């Protein structure tokens, strides 16, 4: 785990360094804020002495004007400094979020699968904001309050060094208060960030499964669950606020005691003619003005700890070292027949699991359809996931036309593969843009051509906005059959020679089923197609069939061969026959 210094160094090097000029300008403005605040306290000395004691009429306008100018300079400088740092903070936030988004988009599938998307959302929104506050608001307050405190202390020492030394006792007391509360604040704020992530996760699940909630009549149950998540976050947020308030509760009595001691000692000095009344009021004003920066600096570590805690969660995401990446000598994949061969392949999703695929050997002939059949959990989907390198084999090799997929460029490999899954994934965008996702350079004619071939044009042309119709989150405004046809159209537009197909298990009406089958035939014609088959028509149309069970190949051959030689396949076939 990185130290706080290493994290701060990293944030400076990658982000803050680019804005050093603006930060220095903000520091300069903070010097003006500190100088004007200190001058306000100092001006009380001549104001009381010259105007109230000596009754000097020559300064009756000058001193009030100087006080107005000091307040104006403080207000304007503070405003400009905050505007600059707010701008830096928002720019930094976008940069951090960009880096996180870039890293997550490029991340291995296994990395994404191991964490709920709601927690990633919390990192992008909440944690990025905490880091932004660290390098903007907290940084500005550090310079502004520290410089202001130095300026006011200078005024205090100028007026009377003895009183100034007594008032300095406030600094270690404030430091002790900050230290005692610091660990508590850090712990509670970290817990609150975790609870916020859990709430984001729950809310995403709730929206995703809203129909399920209704059909099982779980509204009251989910209301109770949501209340628990919100309560947990509320309690942590309340604790943070209480700890912050506790700092003020401790500081106020200390300040009162300090002022009482100073008044007592100042009275002694005035009685002994060692301190003038004008000097006392100037000193007292400086000390009272110093209270705010002292309190702010005492709680500054809260923002620092929150930012550092968030950075510990964010930076590892930005620094993801993907296991699935190009080899140093990766070459371009040269496709001919697109024959795919698995040789002695073993696979498991993590080290704690048993093998999902156990010494698999498969040969998928080029330009033909091969079916994978077997019970759920047999390992069929894992076989498909290994070909585009969503995951890598634990051991063994996969080759396309004699070229290992691990020695070719991933981008080039995936460019030759189209995937159509039973769980159709669409974007909350127009129909046109969903099809274009396969090839953003495609023409209008090409879009309409694949829509016709996939039999999607028939329902698209009936929509009010046709191809410009927004289909909703994951195509919620479309039927299951319409979404499947749109997915096939997208795969057609890619024009890749290898098709990986996981047939939908859902039942469709006869007309829709026929259209989808025809679209599939067009999509897979003369292409190397590997299909996880659920329909008899697909199985019978396959030139080769592999029977997969418990991660092993039990049998292979044509339908006629397997009916005679494989009891497992015959049982599977008969079950499908009864379904159909």
Q: Supply 355's token pair.
A: 């093998």
| Higher pLDDT, residue 332 or 121 | 332
Give the helix, strand, coil percentages of the chain, each rounded to 5.
65, 10, 25
Lowest mean pLDDT among 208-212, 295-299, 468-472: 208-212
Q: Are residues 369 and 490 in the same domain?
A: no
216 or 319, which is more confident: 319
Q: What is the CATH number of the domain that holds 256?
A: 1.20.1560.10
Residues 471 and 509 in one domain: no
Average pLDDT, the chain: 82
In this structure, are 136 and 263 located in the same domain? yes
Alpha-carbon gap, residue 578 to 572, rounded angstroms:
10
In a domain, 575, yes or no: yes
Bridge partners, residue 267, by sequence:
none
Whether 474 maps to a domain, the answer reads: yes
126 and 75, same structural domain? yes
- Lowest average pLDDT, out of 210-214, 319-323, 428-432, 530-534, goes to 210-214
The answer to whether residues 563 and 455 belong to one domain is: no
Rounded to an integer, the average pLDDT of 197-207 is: 76
More confident residue, 63 or 179: 63
- Give ∠ CA 123-129-135 in degrees, rounded to 5: 125
Residue 319 pLDDT greater than 90, yes or no? no
| Residues 348 and 279 placed together within one structural domain of the fold | no
H-type helices in 209-218, by residue range? 210-215
For residue 89, the Cα-to-chain-centroid distance in whole angstroms is 17
The three-state DSSP-derived secondary structure of 52-113 is HHCCCHHHCCHHHHHHHHHHHHHHHHHHHHHHHHHHHHHHHHHHHHHHHHHHHHHCCHHHHH
Q: Say which DSSP state 151 is in.
A: H
Summarize the confidence of residues 362-384 as an average pLDDT.
86
Could you give the number of structural domains in the chain? 3
The boundaries of the domain holding residue 528 are 337-416+496-580
**For 135-166, how does the pLDDT look when each residue is reduced to its tens digit (9 = 90+)?**
878 888 888 888 888 888 888 888 888 888 88
Q: Give me the CATH number covering residue 341.
A: 3.40.50.300
Six-digit token string for 113: 């699968």
Looking at 264, 290, 318, the residue that finishes a domain is 318
Q: How many whole angstroms separate alpha carbon 540 and alpha carbon 558?
A: 8
Mean pLDDT on 505-525? 72
- Portion of the chain with pLDDT greater than 70, in percent: 91
Q: Are 546 and 357 in contact (CB under 8 A)?
A: no
Torsion, Cα 427 432 435 440, to 10 degrees, reads: -100
326 assigned to some structural domain: no
248 — pLDDT class (breaks 50, 70, 90): low
Find the mean pLDDT for residues 478-491. 82
When pLDDT is averaged across residues 221-241 and rounded to a whole number, the result is 81
Residues shown for the chain: 580
Q: How many other β-carbons are positioned within 10 Å of the β-carbon of residue 121?
A: 15
Residues 39 and 186 in one domain: yes
Report yes or no on 330 lying in a domain. no
- Where does the pLDDT of residue 72 fall: very low under 50, low under 70, confident under 90, or very high at 90 and above? very high
Give the model's pLDDT for residue 580.
54
What is the spatial distance between Cα 190 and Cα 307, in angstroms, rounded to a whole number?
10
Q: What is the arithmetic mean of pLDDT over 19-36?
A: 89
pLDDT at 504 over 60: no
Domain boundary among 466, 495, 524: 495
- The answer as to whether 332 is a domain residue is no
Tell whether 191 is covered by a domain. yes
Question: Do residue 403 and residue 292 come from a single domain?
Answer: no
My answer on whether 249 and 290 are in the same domain is: yes
507 pLDDT more than 60: no
Which among 418, 421, 486 is positioned nearest to 453, based on CA atoms?
486
324 lies in a domain?
no
User: pLDDT class for 186, splitting at 50, 70, 90?
Assistant: low
Residues 142 and 174 in one domain: yes
The band of 80, judged by pLDDT with boundaries at 50, 70 and 90, is very high
Long-range pairs of 549-558 with CB within 8 A, sequence gap ≥ 24: 549/374, 549/375, 549/378, 550/358, 550/378, 550/379, 551/355, 551/356, 551/357, 551/358, 551/360, 551/378, 551/379, 551/382, 552/358, 552/359, 552/360, 553/360, 553/361, 553/362, 554/374
| pLDDT confidence bin for 178, thresholds 50/70/90 | low
pLDDT in tens, 269-295: 888 888 788 888 888 888 888 877 877
Cα angle, residue 304 at apex, residues 302 and 305 outer, rounded to 5°: 65
Regarding whether 483 and 396 lie in a shared domain, the answer is no
Per-residue pLDDT band for 46 (boundaries 50, 70, 90) equals confident
Q: What is the pTM of this model?
A: 0.76
Residue 41 lies in a domain: yes
Last residue of a domain, one of 318, 353, 384: 318
Are residues 147 and 24 part of one domain? yes
Tokens at 556, concatenated: 């292979």
């Amino acid at each position: 785990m990185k130290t706080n210094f290493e994290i701060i160094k990293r944030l400076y090097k990658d982000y803050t360094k680019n804005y050093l000029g603006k930060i220095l300008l903000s520091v300069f403005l903070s010097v003006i804020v500190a100088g004007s605040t200190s001058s306000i306290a100092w001006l009380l000395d001549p104001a009381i002495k010259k105007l109230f004691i000596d009754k000097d009429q020559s300064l009756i306008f000058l001193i009030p004007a100087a006080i107005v100018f000091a307040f104006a300079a403080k207000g304007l400088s503070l405003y400009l400094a905050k505007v600059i740092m707010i701008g830096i903070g928002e720019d930094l936030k976008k940069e951090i979020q960009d880096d996180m988004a870039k890293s997550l988009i490029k991340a291995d599938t296994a990395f994404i699968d191991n964490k709920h998307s709601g927690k990633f959302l919390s990192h992008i929104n909440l944690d990025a904001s905490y880091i932004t506050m660290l390098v903007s608001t907290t940084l500005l307050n550090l310079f502004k309050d520290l410089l202001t405190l130095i300026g006011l202390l200078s005024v205090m020492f100028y007026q009377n060094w003895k009183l100034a030394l007594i008032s300095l006792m406030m600094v270690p007391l404030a430091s002790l208060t900050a230290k005692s509360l610091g660990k508590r604040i850090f712990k509670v704020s970290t817990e609150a960030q975790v609870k916020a992530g859990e709430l984001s996760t729950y809310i995403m699940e709730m929206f995703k499964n809203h129909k399920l909630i209704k059909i099982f009549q779980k509204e009251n149950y989910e209301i109770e669950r949501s209340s628990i998540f919100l309560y947990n976050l509320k309690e942590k947020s309340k604790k943070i606020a209480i700890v912050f308030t506790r700092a003020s509760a401790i500081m106020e009595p200390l300040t009162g005691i300090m002022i009482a001691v100073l008044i007592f000692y100042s009275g002694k000095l005035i009685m002994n003619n060692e301190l003038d009344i004008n000097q006392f009021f100037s000193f007292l004003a400086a000390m009272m003005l110093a209270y705010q920066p002292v309190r702010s600096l005492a709680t500054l570590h809260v923002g620092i700890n929150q930012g550092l805690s968030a950075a510990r969660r964010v930076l590892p995401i930005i620094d993801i070292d993907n296991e699935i990446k190009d080899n140093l000598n990766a070459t371009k994949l040269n496709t001919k027949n697109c024959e795919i061969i698995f040789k002695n392949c073993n696979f498991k999703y993590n080290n704690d699991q048993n093998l999902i695929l156990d010494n698999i050997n498969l040969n998928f002939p080029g330009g033909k359809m091969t079916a994978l059949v077997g019970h759920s959990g047999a390992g069929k989907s894992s076989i498909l996931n290994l070909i585009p390198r969503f995951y890598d084999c634990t051991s063994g090799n996969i080759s396309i036309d004699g070229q290992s997929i691990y020695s070719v460029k991933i981008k080039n490999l995936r460019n030759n593969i189209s995937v159509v899954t039973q769980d159709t994934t669409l974007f909350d965008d127009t129909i046109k843009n969903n099809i274009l996702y396969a090839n953003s350079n495609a023409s209008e004619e090409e879009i309409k051509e694949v829509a016709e071939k996939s039999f999607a044009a028939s329902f698209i042309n009936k929509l009010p906005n046709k191809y410009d119709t927004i289909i909703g989150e994951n195509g919620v405004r479309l039927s299951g059959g319409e979404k499947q046809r749109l997915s096939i159209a997208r795969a057609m537009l890619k024009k890749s020679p290898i098709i990986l197909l996981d047939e939908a298990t859902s039942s469709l009406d006869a007309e829709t089923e026929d259209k989808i089958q025809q679209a599939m035939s067009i999509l897979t014609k003369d292409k190397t197609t590997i299909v996880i088959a659920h329909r008899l028509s697909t199985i019978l149309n396959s030139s080769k069939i592999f029977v997969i069970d418990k991660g092993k190949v039990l049998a292979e051959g044509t339908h006629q061969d397997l009916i005679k030689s494989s009891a497992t396949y015959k049982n599977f076939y008969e079950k499908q026959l009864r379904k159909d």
